[in-house]
Copies of this chain bind each other. A is one copy, B any other.
Amino acid sequence: MNSSLDAEDLFPRGTVIPGDHFKGTAWLGMLITDLVFNCPIGNVTFEPGARNSWHKHPGGQILLVTSGSGFYQERGKPARRLSRGDVVKILPNVEHWHGAGLDSSFSHIAITTNPQRGDAVRMEPLRDEEYRGAIG
């Protein structure tokens, strides 16, 4: 549960994310929290099968994929498969989820843009059948 840095981790893995917004085990290592930057940045690592619930960001979010493979899906669209080097642009208030597939862990940098517009809005969990259908 403590901060750790595996050989394969590019940025510190941080600690397990508590609560019920994630299904499965995911880790968050905050890299930037200083208010002066107006740009919170975290390193998120999903174990295989882990993902978050449907949610949206009032100011948007950017994901920079650093290792493993995973998925990003916007409501009503096919899931996009992601691997290292991929960039995901999540526009403000677009409902989405992201997470690992079943056979790989998945790590991305998450940048909260326009943070003054407010925190992420959490919605319902991604159902198991939605997840399985999305990842194919």
Which residues on A are within 8 Å of B, measured CB to CB?
A: 5, 9-12, 31-32, 34, 36-39, 41, 60, 62, 64, 66, 84-85, 87, 89, 91-92, 109, 111, 113-114
Closest to A5 in B: B85
B114 lies within 8 A of A111 (CB): no
Q: Report the Cα distance A5→B89, complex, angstroms.
A: 20
Interface of A is mostly: loop
B109 lies within 8 A of A64 (CB): yes
Q: Report the Cα distance A85→B9, complex, angstroms.
A: 8
Taking A9-B85, A11-B87, A37-B60 as known contacts, 8 extra A-B pairs with beta carbons closer than 8 A to each other, sorted by chain A number, are A5-B85, A10-B10, A10-B66, A11-B85, A12-B85, A31-B64, A32-B89, A38-B113
